[in-house]
Amino acid sequence: MVVVVGAGFAGVEAAWALASRGVPVRLFEMRPNVPTPAHTTDYFAELVCSNSLKSNADTSPAGQLKNEMRALGSVVLDIAAQHRVPGGEALCVDREAFGQAITHALSSHPLITIERAEFTPDACTAFLNSGQKVILATGPLTSPDLAAWLAQITGRANLYFYDAVSPTVDAASLNRDVVFAQSRYDKGEGDDYLNCPFDKEEYFAFVEALVSAERVPIRAFEAGGKRDATQDELEGPFLEKIKYFSGCTPIEAIAEKGPRSLAFGNFKPMGLTDPRSGRRPYAALQLRPENKEKTLYSLVACQNRLKWGEQKRVFQMVPGMEKAEFVRYGVIHRNTYVEAPKVLDPILQMTDVPNLFITGQLTGVEGYVESAAMGILTGLHVARLLNGQSIEQPPRSTAYGSLMAHLADDTPREFAPMNINWGLFPEIELKDKSLRREQKLHAAKAGLQDWLERLGS
Ligand SMILES: Cc1cc2nc3c(=O)[nH]c(=O)nc-3n(C[C@H](O)[C@H](O)[C@H](O)COP(=O)(O)OP(=O)(O)OC[C@H]3O[C@@H](n4cnc5c(N)ncnc54)[C@H](O)[C@@H]3O)c2cc1C
């Protein structure tokens, strides 16, 4: 028997993957007895916000990930297909019918026992001490006691309570005629950082656009305030919490302090020389590699809570980023996740706590689909361990291999949750963007075939 905790996207998939392979499961879900600040029903795999499971198109990263999930027997995608509503290329579902059907499917599986109760650290310790395997799939809103325990066993620095991440761009979309590689004062690895140099006029135009851009409203639970509090009332406590948990202030709040504050802070140009002019720029936005392959770069110190369309508009005003493709936008919100490269092994087991597995968004992926995908993978690995079969890792070329590469990449960086995107797939040296993507998909499909053969499915 395996204990799965949390019947969200990852938990239902992990439980289903185990039960489909003959392993009995005890699935704990605390709702409706104990609520989370965002869920409103007692359904499993509740869609807390949008009803979209992203693109279904075969030619997109999310579509490829879905193909791989279907090949492994995804219950979420199976039920989503039965309750699909029009949404263009996106797989959108009737949330009520989807929630009911998935809850029914799990509850009626003969090998799955449902326990509607909050899973506590004591319960976890007891199961582990008795030699059981436990899979934690408690998601971004993990209950406070369990989160505090996780912080304790991972070391406080390796558990996040808030996401405060800067946008990330695809390296291939940067204008290399403008952007230059140089580490400040030429210290460090030399070309680790890329720099986007502003002249005075460009800088002030950017700041003006930044401070006037539309922001995502703060939710009361994120600031610890009453539900009916106004945005102004929430602002102060929210900024304090962000500063306390993430050590940062959103870039738009810094820019509001004075038009030159970024030029003296986040965008200071000291130690940089623009090779086009041979001089120090007025200000510079730095970009830092997000992965070993340097296919993705994050914007240094650009944590923000602008709406996504606004981020694109404003950050494309940065010299060299006119055509930047954003693979992830900046967000600042409540989110619990571990520093996967430091605390998880290649099968998502905690390196220091044998038999304790972490899956779903808690690992550092983001989104309904990515979390569900991780749940299937963990269920598959654990089932194979218990059934005496070999562990077969997804090839690097697959969408699964790409997500796993993100979770294992120990490049010094701000580890932050990631959606599946083109930049995570292994680089293909081709100038033409559509050819490059075609080749990436081709490699992913070949990798999937190879993986399925090794799995014997
Ligand atoms: C406000 C908000 C809006 C979002 N909007 C979107 C969106 O539009 N699109 C998108 O793709 N993603 C969105 N996300 C992210 C998405 O919700 C997650 O990626 C996904 O749900 C994560 O799946 P999971 O299984 O890891 O966690 P969840 O789906 O959150 O499931 C975790 C489950 O664990 C349960 N649980 C927690 N602690 C305990 C405990 N101690 N004992 C027992 N049960 C417990 C919870 O009740 C929950 O059911 C949003 C997240 C939030 C918070």
The predicted-structure confidence for 188-208, as pLDDT tens digits, reads as follows 655 689 999 999 999 999 999
**What was the pLDDT predicted at 239?**
85
**What was the pLDDT predicted at 306?**
96
Distance 285 CA to ligand 1 centre (A): 33
CB 417 less than 6 A from any atom of ligand 1: no
- Which of 339, 341, 346 lies closest to 374, judged by CA? 346
Burial class (CB in 10 A: 0-12, 13-18, 19+), 277: exposed
Contact 220, 234 (CB under 8 A): yes
CB 166 less than 6 A from any atom of ligand 1: no
CB 99 less than 6 A from any atom of ligand 1: no
CATH code of the region 168-329: 2.40.30
Residue ranges, CATH 3.50.50.60, the chain = 2-164+334-455
CATH code of the region 2-164+334-455: 3.50.50.60
Q: Which atom of ligand 1 is nearest to the CA of 361?
A: 26
Ligand 1 binding pocket mutation candidate from 16, 29, 362 (most atoms within 8 A of CB): 29
> Around Cβ 356, how many Cβ atoms within 10 Å?
22
Residue ranges, CATH 2.40.30, the chain = 168-329
**What was the pLDDT predicted at 188?**
61
Distance 260 CA to ligand 1 centre (A): 39
Contacts of 380 (CB under 8 A, 6+ apart): 17, 21, 72, 455
Contact 298, 171 (CB under 8 A): no
Please identify every stretch of the chain with a pLDDT value under 50, giving residue numbers as ranges.
none
**What was the pLDDT predicted at 240?**
81
pTM of the model: 0.88
CB 163 less than 6 A from any atom of ligand 1: no
Contact 94, 85 (CB under 8 A): yes
Phi, psi (deg, nearest 5) at residue 264: -95, -10
Ligand 1: residue whose CA is nearest its atom 4: 49
